Chain A
């Protein structure tokens, strides 16, 4: 890891101009250095803005004017004329309309058109390397070889026995399990994005925050130097299980932060449910699922599920309770607050009224105090946690994506 700040290399890092070793070292430094991370966000914005720079079209009259100047130059400067044009080349403008010239122009236009289409459809599209792990995965309609490439817009599909591994630029790998369908949506210096329409994938990513995203039918997953599996069922719901680091799931304003050891379900049209640790009891998870996804005709139907969650909550289940604060209202929110405060009292300056009114600063401060019970990681991993928890509620790369 670089011990010095890396701000001078951030544009080169964004443009993929550094060696893999240097890129990785910068990624590691960014995890731990808040100052460079802030600069990285600034550079990334500058890159995104510059990418919007439109190409200007030269005026149609430019050639005519230029040719007139060329003719004038040739006519008035004999020595220049010898250098510039042989007798063959000094032709009147009318020559342009002769059949041979028109044929060249038509060929040029046709070739340009075909060239543009070809480049759009084929090689010019950025792509990722894919390795066949088992069976016969398909890219588009073609069965892939042992090694192939997945271009932007292309689907990779596996049948019930096939598996494949995708190299995500230089930042990690994704394994695609059987019966899965995944598309490369975007890859660039500031964003890598897959769409998982169905099936299961396992991701191992090592990158600065908010670089790798996975769109699913019911939420967007964004990660930070982590390992996780994401499974999408036929109804578009998904199950996220995080094995290392942190992942954020979001649909519009609804967001869940999921640390290692925890899981989170999503439903189409609702978005992410409340995250929970996988060692929670079955009854705890079932009750949480009722709270998250089942319609509540009356307040009464919700009470047993909420009571069970509150009753069974352990200190590390404050992860679940903290998320529930913003998802429940009125008396239910008060009950969650009381239980959360009993398990881990709020830090100084975090008041009951402030929390019940969902004051951002107070919720963030309480979350920061709770994080040590949510994760046993230390050192570098705590760097990840700080970045992610700092990003909670303002993960701009996720907002409005679905």
Chain B
């Protein structure tokens, strides 16, 4: 899984070269489409996991991110990697939207993914999907700061240094957040230990 993410990241970076970004800065809609196609799934994934599996909310946030990207890409000066700049935009937009929803939607936070405890009797052909669903649910239930570190590591395939740059914290803090995230996942999904280990 991690390998695939890293490969996709490399592929995207290969396709999205400086010229595409310059064209986007000039307002070229075709270049923007290229950018969108390269990053849409990973941005959407982070949004889905940040909003407890609510795909409607995730779609809306993904649109907000790309709208912001289009309107503010002129401010990108190439002082950092483009992907770092994009990741910051993703993280900040998700955090802002979470705050907004908390303020205006009150207690209506709904976990759309099946919860980690709802383990149905095992039928082998469903086990893999069930495992993936449990992992999705457990990730969604993590505290936001641990969850974002985990998502940047496993969805975006970033190094600790890159995560630190995106989140504006130290590598040590990233390590600590990932540690907490891993432990929490292991604790919530301890009943899947054999399935994870034997299913390799």
* Chain A interface (Cβ < 8 Å from any Cβ of B): 7-12, 14-15, 17, 39, 42-43, 45-59, 62-63, 65-67, 69-70, 73, 80, 83-86, 88-91, 96, 101, 104, 108, 111-112, 115-116, 119-120, 124-126, 186, 188, 191, 396-397, 399-400
Cα separation A65 to B138 with both chains bound (whole Å): 30
Residue B7 is within 8 A (CB to CB) of chain A in the complex: yes
Q: Contacts A58-B62, A70-B70, A83-B71 given: A11-B175 contact, CB under 8 Å? A: yes
Which are the 8 A-B pairs with shortest beta-carbon distances?
Answer: A46-B182, A85-B27, A58-B44, A89-B27, A46-B186, A45-B186, A58-B40, A11-B178
**Contact-size category for B:** 35 or more
Q: Are A43 and B186 also in contact (CB < 8 A) when A49-B196, A84-B70 are?
A: yes
For the complex, give the distance between the alpha carbons of A186 and B200 in Å.
10
> Which residues of chain B have C-beta atoms less than 8 A from A111's C-beta?
15
Contact of B27 among A12, A39, A86 (CB under 8 A): A86
Determine the distance from Cα of A85 to Cα of B28 in the docked complex, in whole angstroms: 7
State the total of A-B contacts with C-beta under 8 angstroms: 188
B41 contacts A47, C-beta separation under 8 Å: no
A214 CB to nearest B CB, Å: 15
Apart from A45-B196, A46-B183, what 17 extra A-B contacts exist at CB < 8 Å? Answer: A7-B179, A11-B182, A42-B186, A48-B196, A50-B139, A55-B5, A56-B48, A58-B43, A62-B62, A66-B66, A69-B67, A70-B29, A85-B27, A116-B11, A119-B11, A124-B3, A396-B194
Contacts of B184 in A (CB 8 A): 46
Given known contacts A8-B175, A45-B193, A50-B182, A58 and B29 CB-to-CB distance under 8 angstroms: no
B114 within 8 A of A: no
- Asked if B41 contacts A17 (CB within 8 A), the reply is no
- Among B70, B132, B190, the most chain A Cβ lie within 10 Å of the Cβ of B70
Once bound together, how far apart are the Cα atoms of A59 and B30, in whole Å? 19
Contact status A101-B30, CB under 8 Å: yes
Cβ of B81 < 8 Å from any Cβ of A? Answer: no
Interface residues of B in 29-58 (CB under 8 A from A): 29-30, 32-34, 36-37, 40-45, 48-49, 55, 58
Of the A-B pairs whose beta carbons lie under 8 Å apart in the complex, a sample of 16, sorted by A's number, is A10-B179, A45-B186, A45-B193, A46-B182, A46-B183, A47-B182, A49-B185, A53-B155, A57-B41, A66-B67, A84-B27, A84-B70, A85-B27, A89-B32, A112-B11, A400-B198
Known: A62-B40, A84-B70, A104-B30. A55 touches B186 (CB 8 A): no
Name the one of B15, B36, B136, B171 contacting A53, with C-beta atoms under 8 angstroms.
B136
Measured CA separation A67–B33 after assembly (Å): 9
Give the one of B58, B138, B186 with max A CB within 10 A: B186
Set B10, B66, B160, B197: member contacting A119, Cβ < 8 A: B10
A278 → B minimal CB distance (Å): 32
Indicate if the CB atoms of B59 and A51 lie closer than 8 Å: no
| B176 near A53: Cβ-Cβ < 8 Å | no
The 8 Å CB contact of B138, one of A49, A58, A104, A397, is A49
Residue of A nearest to B39 (CB): A58
Q: Is the interface of A mostly helix, strand, loop or mixed?
A: helix
CA of A104 to CA of B187, assembled, Å: 48
Report whether B41 and A56 are in contact in the complex, using a CB–CB cutoff of 8 Å.
Answer: yes
Q: Is the CB of A63 within 8 A of B135?
A: no
The answer to whether A396 and B160 touch across the interface, beta carbons within 8 angstroms, is no
Do B185 and A59 have beta carbons less than 8 Å apart? no
B33 touches A55 (CB 8 A): no
Cβ–Cβ contact B48 & A50, under 8 A: no
Which residues does chain B contribute within 8 Å of A9, judged by CB atoms?
175
